[in-house]
Amino acid sequence: MRKSVFPENGVWLKGNPHSHTTVSDGYFEPLELAKLYASQGYDFLSMTDHNIFLPHNELPPEELLLLTGVEHDLEYGSDKCTHIIGLGRAGQAETSYPCRKYTSRELTDQQYLDMMVGDGQFVVLAHPVWSRMEPEEVAALHGFHAIEIYNNGTEHLCHAGHAEIYWDMLLRRGCRVYGIACDDVHVPCDLFGGWLWVKAAERSREAVLDALHSGSFYSSSGPIIYDFGLDGDKVYISCSPCREIHMVSYPPRGNTSFNENQTEAAFVLTGREKYIRLECIDETGHVAWTNPIFFDYAIELLRIFITSAAAPVYCPLWQPLALSV
């Protein structure tokens, strides 16, 4: 029985969760940036200026949903830092903690994360490669909901935008985190290179945030994913034309389908996977990333799928995450 990870009902909404304006170190005024994204068919945008949690209402919701957000940063010298994105609750006007720039003498990375999670934010570890974070430093953190796996701004700046290797390291260690693509726009060349497609219950700020927290989204720099899920002992995907579709898993190493202009693929599972995720790469090299499907007891799950078409499906992407390493 085929079962999609995405809700049957709802609407697909496109958005960028990480951007900057002249409120901090960005090139565009807030209204100008909002109009740019609305003109390109985006449904939501978060202006995450540095250490400033500022609600925006430059455009009405029917034109663009503006999510209140912030990027906090801890600096460890001129070449090393930790940056953390937080998207606030719908209607939230201020944080429960003093929202300002903190130093590494005042807070550790984990204390910063705990403070933001305690405020109810959707918390994302930003551009760890650009931040020069070591793998053990990333692995030591817990509690965040997602990690930026593609950051268009830092990719343009110094080829430091991809962080899939950090994501898989966390997933292999049992940390259930989502992957995020974003623009992190500071200057015009950063625009429209990484985004999210969210399957939300409706077109509202509340529904977008609910979808993010539940993992009902995928990331992309180009390809479109139409469906993704499980079908018996297989994982399947349907997408816009791609030249490569990769299944990434652990402990098994996964699989790959190479076929010009393929729009679907299916991979047989071994029953030993702790998680699986898929990447779709088009002829231009642009990528779409699914979120992982996690298996607590993969062999038992496959047995249920194979022997009982009416059995309930277990997929933690539909459950609140217990975020721990």
Structure confidence by residue, pLDDT tens digits, 172-202:
999 999 999 999 999 999 999 999 999 999 9
CA distance 291 to 218: 6
pLDDT at 1: 83
pLDDT at 322: 30
pLDDT at 317: 35
Domain limits, the chain: 9-219, 225-312
pLDDT at 203: 98
Q: What is the dihedral of CA 298, 300, 301, 304, to 10 degrees?
A: 160
**Mean pLDDT (the chain, rounded):** 92
CATH number of 9-219: 3.20.20.140
Answer whether residue 312 shows pLDDT above 70.
Answer: no
pTM (2 d.p.) = 0.91
Percentage of the chain exceeding pLDDT 70: 91
Q: Would you place residue 60 in the very low, low, confident or very high pLDDT band (cuts 50, 70, 90)?
A: very high
Closest of 87, 97, 229, 67 to residue 146, by C-alpha: 87
Q: Is 52 helix (H, G, I), strand (E, B) or coil?
A: coil
pLDDT at 106: 95
CA distance 260 to 44: 33
Write out pLDDT tens, residues 120-148: 999 999 999 999 999 999 999 999 999 99
pLDDT at 323: 27
CA distance 287 to 148: 14
CA distance 296 to 174: 10
Q: Summarize the confidence of residues 41-59 as an average pLDDT.
A: 97
pLDDT at 325: 24
Answer whether residue 310 shows pLDDT above 80.
Answer: no
Q: Would you place residue 282 in the very low, low, confident or very high pLDDT band (cuts 50, 70, 90)?
A: very high
Write out pLDDT tens, residues 226-251: 999 999 999 999 999 999 999 999 99
- Judge contact between 248 and 303, C-beta under 8 A: no
CATH number of 225-312: 2.60.40
Q: What is the dihedral of CA 149, 152, 208, 230, to 10 degrees?
A: -40
Q: Which helix (H) or strand (E) holds 170?
A: helix 164-172
Q: Is 224 helix (H, G, I), strand (E, B) or coil?
A: coil
